[in-house]
Structure 1
Amino acid sequence: MKAITDATLVAEFSAAKLPVIIKFEAKWCQPCKAMTPTLNAIEQEYGQRVQFFTANVEHCDLMAQRFQVSQIPALVAMENGVVLAKRVGSGSKQEIAQWMRQSIPGARDER
């Protein structure tokens, strides 16, 4: 997952060719830390179809306000600059992958 900040948000999203998942977190948040390996595993599986970013809320006030993030960890799914879905709280790999597939049409399994 690539870290983004308020300053790099526009450049990163302008360059994004794929749908985006942003994980909002903080260094002191234990559920955020616990969720990182899960998202890394999902990124390995879906990285060709979805771009993954992480945003530390302590350094991303504007982004957190823009996406109305008031609890962490939080995931925001976006495509072409449009928010498709938000999820608050951690979860299993299966739960998060299912939410992502339901939220982003391009992330659905190709069979």
Structure 2
Amino acid sequence: MSGEIVVCPHCGRRNRVPAAAPGVPRCGNCHQPLPWIADATDATFAAVAEQSALPVVVDLWAAWCGPCRMVTPALEQVARDLAGKLKLVKVDVDAAPMLSRRFDVKAVPTLLIMHDGKVLARKSGAAPAPALRQWAETTLAGIRSSTG
């Protein structure tokens, strides 16, 4: 897992962000949190999603799914807006049949919010970025209130 190149939204510096790592990715130049967007498979899901220090939005999607393609930019915007607070992990259900069965995916896109390996929230279907952000922030607030 060499990592994806992410341009810092604060200073424009290019940074390599690994799919799985301890802590929160930060810009090497300005030290601001970076958006964390990664792909996972049946084989990598535990390391990429379940062992993440941050809460994870899991996008269970398929390449043939029109609504999945529509929701991708909205999810990526939420990941940018909430950089340092959550991680977006994308799972192609056709390439990850074990995860599809595990999470009982009946329709795509199916979105999950996980923390410490547990599913805290679930949503099916596409939604605009503001609705997805509100859903994520409400769930994140519940995590903070139960741990704080």
TM-score (norm 2): 0.68
* Inter-partner Cα distance in structure 2 for 1:51 and 1:21: 6
* Inter-partner Cα distance in structure 1 for 2:62 and 2:128: 19
Decide whether the 8 Å contact of 1:75 with 1:87 is kept in 2. Answer: yes
Structure 1 match to 2:67 = 31
- In structure 2, do the counterparts of structure 1 residues 74 and 103 end up closer, same or farther at CA, with 3 Å as the change threshold? same
- Structure 1 counterpart of 2:48, which letter? E
**How far off its partner does 1:15 sit?**
3.9
Matches within 5 A, 1:1-111: 1-13=37-49, 15-105=51-141
- Structure 2 counterpart of 1:21, which letter? V
Larger Rg: 2
Structure 1 match to 2:17 = none
TM-score (norm 1): 0.89
* Inter-partner Cα distance in structure 1 for 2:39 and 2:53: 17
CA RMSD between the two structures: 1.7
- Structure 1 counterpart of 2:130, which letter? Q
**How far off its partner does 1:14 sit?**
5.0
* Inter-partner Cα distance in structure 2 for 1:86 and 1:14: 16
* Inter-partner Cα distance in structure 2 for 1:3 and 1:13: 9
Decide whether the 8 Å contact of 2:67 with 2:126 is kept in 1. Answer: yes
The number of residue pairs the alignment matches comes to 108
* Inter-partner Cα distance in structure 2 for 1:96 and 1:72: 15
Gaps of 5+ in 2: 1-36
Residue identity over aligned pairs, in percent, reads: 28
Q: State the 4+ residue runs in structure 1 displaced beyond 6 angstroms.
A: none
